[in-house]
């Protein structure tokens, strides 16, 4: 299904050509800040000796989602991108500005709601534009790495586009602990790639502004499984097998019915039963104790780690098979 006319004989980014067997770091200039500082996207290209698929691995589309940046960076250091067949294009940190500001956004705008972007638009819009123009035109498919936001911790999971059979296949190859189809969000990177016929899977693991070893490892292992599947890396590289990914068919956020201090008692990733107590919300004076219960049998696929809760706040993301 992925066999096609491969594009990696010559990869061209920002006017620079990268032939078979070549590696290069190219910095794509986006704009200057008021201080005169140049904002650039660093892009690593590792082109193998043989024709094969070209894959984009992208971290830090949201600047505060540090696990995504760390796992891509760690694979750079580990030489995981020693590519024999096909080409890997690596963007360790797309949203440089958000990273510096410890923010998801780029100057108040979400890059992941700015596609297809414009070269004369806001910083976020320019970043989206150059990502599509210079990079994604070269690739056959992409893995976009994310984490939960605002202390909501996502258990390692892959999201794919239900209408996209190749994305579903990639999700199976990646084999994260959980996987599910997720609706396309207008102006998102995945939506724009879908329009351009480029399958994208989104890996989510951990939460923003916090490194989490398990989420980093699962992201690396899944990526290695994909690279190995397409015979892009040396066959001797170890790629730990997971148990088969659990396919989630229905999802629901359990929200707070009362305000107070929240203490979860189940772990992320845990299997839970209908009616099981998942956590407690207490008032600050110890007079009331409200039990949060599971509405159905399922799995905890994300958990809120923030203890001060208002009514309606999201507490647990529950997945049903």
Residues that bind Zn ion (CB under 5 A): 62, 65, 146
Q: How long is the chain?
A: 321
Contacts of 188 (CB under 8 A, 6+ apart): 112, 113, 115
Q: Residue 67 or 268: which CB sits closer to Zn ion?
A: 67
CB of 167 to Zn ion, least distance (A): 17
CB of 95 to Zn ion, least distance (A): 9
In angstroms, how far is the first alpha carbon of the chain from the final one?
Answer: 27
CB of 16 to Zn ion, least distance (A): 29
CB of 188 to Zn ion, least distance (A): 10
Q: Residue 85 or 190: which CB sits closer to Zn ion?
A: 190
Q: Residue 86 or 207: which CB sits closer to Zn ion?
A: 207
**Residue 222 and residue 181: Cα distance in Å, rounded?**
17
Residues in a beta bridge with 177: none
- Residue in this structure with the two tokens 């009362």, named with its chain if needed: 258
CB of 58 to Zn ion, least distance (A): 11
Q: Residue 38 or 185: which CB sits closer to Zn ion?
A: 185
Q: Residue 62 or 85: which CB sits closer to Zn ion?
A: 62
Q: Residue 152 or 229: which CB sits closer to Zn ion?
A: 152
- Sign for the CA dihedral angle at 195, 198, 199, 201 comes to negative
CB of 225 to Zn ion, least distance (A): 22
Q: Residue 192 or 239: which CB sits closer to Zn ion?
A: 192
**Residue 173 and residue 222: Cα distance in Å, rounded?**
8
CB of 146 to Zn ion, least distance (A): 3
Q: Which two tokens stand for residue 259?
A: 């305000």
Nearest-10 Cα torsion for 66, 252, 248, 64: -10
Helix 165-174 to helix 213-229 angle (10° resolution) is 120
**Residue 77 and residue 320: Cα distance in Å, rounded?**
38
**Residue 228 and residue 233: Cα distance in Å, rounded?**
6
CB of 311 to Zn ion, least distance (A): 26
Q: b/e string for 110-139 if b means 16 or more Cβ within 10 A?
A: bbbbbbbbeeeebbbbbbbbbbbebbbebb
Q: Residue 63 or 269: which CB sits closer to Zn ion?
A: 63
């Amino acid at each position: 299904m992925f066999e096609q006319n491969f594009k990696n004989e010559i990869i061209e980014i920002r006017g620079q050509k990268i032939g078979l067997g070549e590696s290069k770091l190219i910095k794509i200039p986006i704009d200057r800040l008021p201080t005169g500082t140049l904002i650039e996207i660093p892009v690593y290209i590792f082109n193998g000796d043989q024709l094969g698929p070209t894959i984009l691995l992208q971290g830090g589309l949201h600047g505060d989602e540090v696990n995504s940046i760390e796992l891509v960076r760690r694979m750079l250091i580990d030489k995981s991108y020693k590519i024999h067949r096909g080409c890997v294009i690596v963007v360790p940190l797309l949203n440089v500005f958000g990273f510096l500001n410890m923010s998801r956004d780029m100057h108040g705008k979400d890059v992941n709601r700015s596609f297809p972007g414009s070269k004369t638009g806001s910083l976020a819009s320019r970043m989206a534009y150059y990502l599509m123009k210079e990079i994604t035109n070269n690739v056959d498919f992409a893995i976009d790495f994310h984490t939960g936001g605002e202390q909501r911790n996502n258990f390692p999971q892959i999201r794919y586009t239900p209408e996209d059979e190749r994305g579903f296949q990639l999700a199976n190859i990646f084999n994260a602990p959980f996987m599910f189809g997720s609706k396309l969000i207008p102006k998102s990177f995945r939506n724009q790639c879908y329009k351009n016929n480029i399958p994208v899977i989104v890996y989510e693991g951990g939460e923003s502004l916090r490194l989490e070893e398990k989420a980093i490892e699962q992201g690396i292992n899944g990526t290695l499984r994909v690279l190995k599947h397409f015979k892009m890396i040396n066959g001797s590289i170890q790629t730990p097998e997971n148990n088969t990914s659990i396919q989630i068919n229905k999802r629901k956020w359990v929200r707070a019915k009362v305000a107070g201090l929240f203490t979860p008692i189940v772990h992320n990733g845990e299997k839970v039963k209908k009616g099981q107590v998942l956590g407690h919300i207490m008032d600050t004076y110890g007079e009331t104790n409200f039990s949060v219960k599971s509405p159905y049998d399922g799995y905890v696929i994300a958990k809120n780690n923030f203890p001060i809760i208002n009514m309606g706040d999201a507490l647990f993301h529950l997945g049903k098979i």
